[in-house]
Every structure is written in C-alpha cells, then in structure tokens.
C-alpha cells in the first residue's frame, strides 16, 4: 500500500475539523470529527507495522494514546445514546486521562533512544520549568475551578486534566532540550505538543470565563484544534525519517542555547516573584523586589553558563576521541558499526534493492614503508591517505579507519554495480601519486579495494557486510595486477 505523505495528514485533519468550527454541536460536525480521528489512528497503526528497530515501541505508545482518546470519545457517545445524561464524570474520563501518561512515555522513549546517556541536564531543566507550569495551573486553573466546591469526583477529575498537561509540558521540554536533531518527525511532535497544550488549557479555563452555553459551543469548536494536534502526532509517525529519530545530529555541535538560559531564568524567578508581589504592598517595595530578583537571577545564570561552557568543551573533546581515530580523524570501528546499522535500517525502511555499499581498503606496501623508514613515516602515509580519502568522499559517505592500514568507506547513494565499481576505481587512484614527506622523501604505496553491496547479500547485518567486503578485498589483492580493475 502506498504511504500517505506526512505533510498531507494535517490537511486531512483540518478538513475533518472544519465543520466543528463552523457548525459547533451539529451531528455532521461530530461525525466528521470521529471519521477524521479514526482515519488518523488507523494510519498510525498501519505505519507502525513497517517501522524497524526500537523506535517502533516509542511510536506505539503515542499511537496507543491516540487510540485510547478515540475509544474515550466513542464510549462517551455510546453512554449519551444509552442514558441521555451522562453527568460531569463518566468512564470515558478514565480513558482520556490515561492517554496523557501513554503519550508522555512514548515521547520519553524516543528521546532516550536519541541520547541515552545525555538526558540528565534536559530532565532537570524540564522539571524546573514543569514545576512553574504546575504552580501556574494550580493557581490560575485548578483553584478558580474548585473554589467554593466540595470534594467530589468531578472536582478531582477536573484537577487531573491540567496535571496531565503539565506532564505533556515536561515531556515536550525534554524533547526540545535533549541533544539530537530537531528536524523531521521531531518538529511534528513539538508542534503537536504545543497545540495540544493550548487547546487543553483553553478548555480547562472555559468554566471560569464564560457561561455554560457559550462554554459548550466553544468546546465543540476546539475539537478541530485537538484533531489537528493529534494529526501532527500521526504525521511524525508517517514521516520518512521516523526511524531515524534516534540518530544524533552530527551536523552541529551541541551547545547551550540562549533560549534555554532564558527559560531557566524564568523558572528560577517566577515563584519568588509571584509570592513577593502578593506579600508586599506599595510600588517602591514591589519595584525593588523585582530588580533584586532580576539581578540575582542574572548573576546565577552567568555563573551557570560559564560552568556549562567548560563542560561542553571537555565533553566535545571526549566525544570526538570516542568516535574518531586519533591519527587520521576518520571514524573509528565503533562509529562505523553504528553508521552501518543505521544505513541498513534505512535501506530496509525505504526498500532499497542495492545500497548500502561497503568498500574495504587495504594499503599495499605499507609494511615495507614502516620497516624501512620507521613508524613516523608510516603515520605520515596513513594521515595523507586519510586526507585524500576524505577529499574523494561524496555527500553522505562515511570513511573509517579500522586499524593499521585498513580503511572502510560506507556509501548509501549507489544503485548499481557500475556506480560501485566506478567509485572503487576512484578509490584505487588515490595512491597513484606517492606520499611525500617534508624532508622530500617519497613513499610509493598501492591500495586493494573490496566491494560488497547489501542488496546482493539478502538481509545482512553490519558484521556480515563487513566480512563480505573484506573477503572481496583479499580476492582483489591476490589477483594478477592486470585483472584487479576488471
């Protein structure tokens, strides 16, 4: 079945939610809403069947949350049809409330895949902001709604919904603040969370702002907004890069964003500021309080930023050393296996019949250079060959040094044997010119290149593909010189 484009999903939701905005409370608007919501959930479950790897479970919680909300809507309609008057609290509320933790768990699982060992700072920052969010919800949403009310199931349930929004706010903050790419499906998830929070908060504050009839009409109009937010969750699942959400963003260095400092400053100053303004009378006293809190918060944040910058520098250095060969600067064996696993997953996801392709390179004559001129000369040869290899790579290719004089190139954008052999020939030509040293010594070397395409090996893993390329390289090395490039 042909996949529905992710960008088309919000368009479908907008079309199905439009009647709720123009015909609030009508049967046609409600049926259109249910049809659109059901379609979204069905698309999500169908897409989950094709997602590989552990990402599927995280997305599964998200689609499960949407399914629970849909079942809650259907149950509420059934109860209204059976009993006419359902009351302020119904079994559907249990389903609607249970969707919040399911959604939060799904988001956190996806973030944990992307940055499994670097979530501590993001979690702490998110909890700081969520604490302020929880207090604001308590002060301006929950308390006004329950004021002068006796404790009852309706009061308890009404207080739980804003707390569910706080949970989503915390999960969204972690998603935004955690390391990793914010492109592709992550953008859809962030947009969905933002719209969900706006819609939920608007619905939660309705009882304290307008009369019953207007509240019902406006709540019906907001169904379209909630449908749009739900469609963005599904769009993230349908995105072509949904399986790559765990892939780190290697295009830029992770640094402390200025917006993060501003959010932390707001979280640090908000509660003392609200408390002080309520306790102090007089303009002069309130102004002095605000100035004092602002200055103290700024000083604390400056000190915080200086410490974090130092940690970032050390962390960046250690991260580079952990994934790169120190002599050549190329990816090391660990980084190669990670890139190869992602490439194989992408190939299965996209149904690639040929790629990825692995090129195994072994320098000819390197041992003789080491034995005759010493290890320093050997290091010069390795570094120069790595420089030439990097210059020859195309966008998306990955070069790695496995150790000694063995190198590997991973290419995902090849589709035929002819393209693979053409690249192999270019790699062989890297040693046409001898390597010269600063003292004018010249070292002549060669290179044997083995090629293995995943599409020709069935369903290989990284070790199988690497072994196949290695075996092909040795067969090339042992051939007569006039047959190597044949």
Separation CA 49–CA 43 (nearest Å): 10
Separation CA 60–CA 103 (nearest Å): 9
Inter-residue contact 333 to 404 (CB < 8 Å) = no
Cα distances (Å, whole numbers) of residue 462 to 340, 418, 427, 471: 6, 23, 22, 14
- CA torsion, ordered 288, 290, 292, 297, to nearest 10 deg: 180
Name the phi and psi angles at 360, rounded to 5: -105, 120
Catalytic member of 405, 461, 470, 482: 405
**DSSP state string for 406-424:** EEEEEESS--SHHHHHHHH
> Tokens at residue 76, please?
């509420």
Instruction: Name the maximum alpha-carbon separation found in the chain.
Output: 95
Name the phi and psi angles at 478, rounded to 5: -90, -5
- CA atoms 169, 173, 174, 176: torsion sign: positive
Residue 405 annotated as catalytic: yes
The SS3 call for residue 403 is strand
The residues annotated with a catalytic role in the active site are 405
């Amino acid at each position: 079945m042909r996949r529905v484009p992710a960008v088309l999903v919000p368009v479908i939701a907008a079309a199905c939610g439009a009647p709720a905005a123009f015909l609030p409370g009508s049967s046609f608007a409600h049926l259109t809403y249910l049809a659109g919501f059901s379609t979204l959930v069905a698309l999500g479950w169908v897409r989950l069947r094709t997602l590989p790897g552990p990402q599927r479970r995280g997305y599964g919680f998200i689609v499960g949350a949407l399914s629970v909300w849909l079942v809650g809507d259907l149950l509420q309609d059934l109860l209204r049809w059976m009993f006419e008057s359902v009351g302020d609290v119904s079994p559907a509320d249990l389903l609607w409330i249970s969707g919040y933790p399911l959604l939060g768990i799904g988001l956190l699982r996806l973030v944990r895949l992307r940055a499994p060992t670097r979530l501590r700072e993001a979690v702490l920052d998110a909890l700081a902001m969520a604490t302020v969010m929880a207090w604001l919800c308590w002060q301006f949403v929950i308390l006004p709604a329950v004021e002068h009310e006796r404790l009852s199931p309706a009061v308890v349930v009404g207080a739980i919904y804003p707390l569910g929004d706080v949970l989503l706010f915390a999960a969204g903050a972690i998603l935004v603040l955690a390391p990793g790419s914010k492109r592709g499906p992550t953008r859809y998830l962030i947009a969905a969370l933002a719209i969900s929070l706006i819609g939920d908060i608007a619905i939660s504050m309705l009882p304290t702002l307008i009369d019953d009839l207007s509240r019902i009409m406006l709540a019906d109009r907001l169904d379209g907004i909630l449908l749009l937010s739900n469609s963005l969750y599904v769009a993230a699942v349908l995105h072509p890069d949904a399986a790559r959400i765990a892939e780190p963003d290697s295009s830029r260095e992770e640094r402390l964003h200025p917006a993060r400092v501003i959010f932390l400053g707001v979280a640090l100053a908000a509660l003392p500021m609200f408390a002080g303004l309520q306790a102090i009378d007089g303009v002069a006293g309130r102004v002095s309080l605000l100035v004092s809190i602002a200055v103290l918060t700024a000083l604390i944040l400056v000190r915080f930023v200086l410490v974090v910058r130092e940690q970032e520098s050390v962390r960046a250095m250690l991260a580079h050393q952990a994934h790169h060969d120190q002599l050549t600067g190329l990816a090391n064996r660990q980084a190669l296996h990670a890139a190869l696993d992602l490439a194989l997953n992408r190939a299965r996801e996209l149904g690639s019949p040929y790629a990825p392709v692995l090129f195994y390179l072994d320098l000819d004559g390197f041992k003789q250079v080491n034995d005759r001129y010493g290890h320093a000369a050997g290091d010069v040869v390795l570094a120069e060959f790595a420089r030439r290899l990097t210059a020859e790579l195309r966008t998306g290719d990955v070069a790695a040094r496995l150790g000694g004089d063995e190198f590997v190139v991973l290419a995902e954008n090849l589709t035929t044997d002819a393209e693979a052999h053409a690249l192999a020939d270019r790699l062989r030509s890297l040693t046409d010119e001898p390597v010269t040293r600063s003292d004018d010594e010249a070292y002549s070397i060669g290179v044997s290149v083995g090629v293995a395409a995943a599409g020709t090996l069935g369903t290989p893993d990284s070790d199988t593909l690497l072994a196949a390329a290695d075996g092909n390289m040795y067969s090339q090395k042992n051939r007569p010189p006039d047959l190597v490039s044949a």
